[in-house]
Amino acid sequence: MRLIPAIDIIDGKCVRLSKGDYNTKKIYNENPLEIAKQFEDHGIEHLHLVDLDGAKASHIVNHKVLETIATKTNLKIDFGGGLKTDEDLRIAFESGAGQITGGSIAVKNPDVFKSWLSKFGADKIILGADANNEKIAISGWQEESEEELIPFVKNYIAQGVSYVICTDIAKDGMLQGPSFGLYKKMLAELDGVKLIASGGISKFEELPKLAELGCEGTIIGKAIYENKISLKQLEDYILSN
């Protein structure tokens, strides 16, 4: 299972929110590159970079941060937050993203999202299926849609999607453990999905459990920043697998 630390960006700074609420913003570092380099120094190869300004603005905003991290580290970066147009994707990929995550766009403009799958390939496009009570949430989680999580993902798998990031919003940033039950259900019902768990990771022992369930990757955010999980623990896990 891939370990994927997260860096969330507002105003070019590394922040974390709780349950996606911008009013809960906490700044952890003025310089995201410093954090990214620390990850790389501990054997981490992947990074989940989220443009929270972009999510609010509905277009890419913090691509300079992406470019800086991509040119000054070897991290494989998946980038998301407000990507809505082919131009947004062009900027993201040219700035160094290896993959992009589309969430709201997959709900609000499925034709555009499907065109990205055929244009860039399923390996480059991750479906962001973030949910509250198993209903898909959109627009930086400011809105809940009527889309049911599992049928929504199933439909996109039929269209060629393989990578899916699922965040249970109720858990995100709360450090109370991930949604094991939800991920188990998804893996049982969705054939061939490469499921990336996200939200609620609070201690190291949860990671092997997610691997056991069959998650392809796990995004870890606040647990790192609040020193609930050390980078040394992540390094040892990577070395032992």
CA dist., res. 99 & res. 101, Å (int):
7
Q: CA angle, corner 12, sides to 172 and 228, nearest 5? A: 35
CA dist., res. 104 & res. 55, Å (int):
9
Task: Quickly list DSSP for 1-15.
Answer: -EEEEEEEEETTEEE
Query: For 75, what's the count of Cα atoms within 13 Å in the CB-facing half-sphere?
Result: 34
Which two three-digit tokens encode residue 34?
A: 């410093």
Measured in whole angstroms, the distance separating CA 167 from the mean position of its chain's CA atoms is: 8
Contacts for 182 with CB less than 8 Å, ≥ 6 apart = 131, 134, 166, 168
Q: Which residues are catalytic?
A: 8, 130
CA dist., res. 114 & res. 16, Å (int):
30
98 burial (CB, 10 Å; 0-12 / 13-18 / 19+) is middle
